[in-house]
Amino acid sequence: AQKVTQAQTEISVVEKEDVTLDCVYETRDTTYYLFWYKQPPSGELVFLIRRNSFDEQNEISGRYSWNFQKSTSSFNFTITASQVVDSAVYFCALTWRTDSWGKLQFGAGTQVVVTP
């Protein structure tokens, strides 16, 4: 069974603090993709990153960074020097090759609240 766990329901930080969002996944497939999406109050999903199962390199994009560790089945996301505009719900998601390629299994989401 495919599963994505985001154990943190809500994280509150003060502006300029760093915040790390945890994501743990389960899949029997050896070929899969992991994603992070941001959902601001408007509701529209904003794509942040896609990582395939064969690429364990960490990635940095501006204030965002991702740590992919297959050994622990984790794909964690860190926002450095948080800003009020980072306030949103963040979803980790998984898609796998077997079955219908492209179906996304979402985690429960983590609400990030950044206060000035």
Partner 1 sequence: GAVVSQHPSWVICKSGTSVKIECRSLDFQATTMFWYRQFPKQSLMLMATSNEGSKATYEQGVEKDKFLINHASLTLSTLTVTSAHPEDSSFYICSATGPTTYNEQFFGPGTRLTVL
> Applying CB under 8 A, which residues contact partner 1?
33, 37, 42-45, 47, 50, 91, 100-109
Q: How far is the CB of 16 from partner 1 (least distance, A)?
A: 27
Measured from the CB atom, is 62 or 102 closer to partner 1? Answer: 102
CB of 37 to partner 1, least distance (A): 8
Quote the least distance from Cβ 75 to partner 1, whole Å: 16
Of 80 and 87, the one with the shorter C-beta distance to partner 1 is 87
How far is 66 from 36, CA to CA, in rounded Å? 9
Task: For strands 105-106 and 19-21, give the pairing.
Answer: unpaired
